[in-house]
Amino acid sequence: MESLPCADPDLLLNTIRGQWKLNGYIVSDCDSVGVFYDEQHYTKTPEEASGGRNLKRLALEAARQGIVLLQNNGHSLPLSTVRHRTIAVIGPNSDVTVTMIGNYAGVACGYTTPLQGIGRIRDRTGLLLPGHQQELVSRVARASRGPTILVLMSGGPIDVSFAKNDPKIGAIFWVGYPGQAGGTAIADVLFGTTNPGGKLPMTWYPQDYVSKLPMTNMAMRAGRGYPGRTYRFYKGPVVFPFGHGLSYTTFAHTLVQAPTSVSVPLTSLSATTNSTILSGAVRVSTTDCHSLLTWC
């Protein structure tokens, strides 16, 4: 912008975050971070362009906060480092790095796969696990003498009803594409070093939902024989709803005052370090509170 690279701290910090008050995050496009070093020579080293040690810490924290605990039957998680000394890490994504970064990313300076942390690029035609992965999960669950934890790595929803209803599968969590530090983040959640606090950014539909959506119809609202799209208009059964996400921590909400403005203090009843961020949504059950203002 006017001969200044868009990595300029004055633009990012002073203008965008200072004057424009942006409280979100800024995303680079494809190889733009590498351009700072390769073509523009704005930085002296590739590590300086990507943020170096600060980036690694941020990548780990982003992966930790992005993990969504979908199910935790019988408090299967977190695992005990004393009782669970041996763990089998099984599956096509257990010791690979390609899936962790998705299909729109470059090569990071260093990766940690799920296996190291604990010790296919195409459109999908359905919502089930590809290949024989569902059979693999069920067989492992039947053979395991300890708790079976299903870790899902994907960029979108998956119909895992089979696992959700399998009493041998103790817990399920979704990590999305967790990035270069994904393996470490998974291990932290698995053993309770980090408390999962992520929420699903989309509805997880059952497999038969796909057959009801013709490619020629992009309408949002439901119609005759058409189920509708997103949580706002689709009212049918789901595997997991939009915004779903569990925690190891138990929360208590106390209503302390109720004029036109209500303050709800939050008390954590668990010793686990909590990173869960409340959505700020409060369901009002009475009809006389339309003008009620709430915050947490």
Interior CA angle at 46 toward 43 and 49, to 5°? Answer: 50
Asked if residue 223 and residue 179 are part of one domain, the reply reads: yes
Question: pLDDT tier at 283 (50, 70, 90 boundaries)?
Answer: low
- Burial class from Cβ neighbours inside 10 Å (0-12, 13-18, 19+) for residue 185 reads buried
Residue recorded with tokens 């290949």: 131
What is the C-alpha to C-alpha distance for residues 42 and 3, in angstroms, rounded to an integer? 11
Q: Is the pLDDT of residue 280 over 70?
A: no
CATH number at residue 160: 3.40.50.1700
- Mean pLDDT for 52-58 is 80
Host domain of residue 124: 51-248
Asked if residue 107 and residue 72 are part of one domain, the reply reads: yes
Structural domains counted in the chain: 3
Asked if residue 162 and residue 273 are part of one domain, the reply reads: no
Asked if residue 258 and residue 134 are part of one domain, the reply reads: no
Over residues 174-224, the pLDDT tens digits come to: 999 998 899 999 999 999 999 999 999 999 999 999 999 988 899 999 998
Asked if residue 127 and residue 86 are part of one domain, the reply reads: yes
Residue 172 β-bridge partners:
71, 150
Average the pLDDT over each of 51-60, 64-73, 137-146, 255-264 and give the range with the smallest value.
255-264
Asked if residue 153 and residue 290 are part of one domain, the reply reads: no
Asked if residue 193 and residue 221 are part of one domain, the reply reads: yes
What's the chain's average pLDDT? 81
- Burial class from Cβ neighbours inside 10 Å (0-12, 13-18, 19+) for residue 278 reads middle
Asked if residue 241 and residue 182 are part of one domain, the reply reads: yes
Active site residues: 29
Over residues 19-36, the pLDDT tens digits come to: 999 988 887 777 777 787
CA dihedral 140, 142, 144, 150 (to 10 degrees): 50
Q: Is the pLDDT of residue 12 over 50?
A: yes
Asked if residue 142 and residue 68 are part of one domain, the reply reads: yes
Contact, 46 vs 34, CB < 8 A? Answer: yes
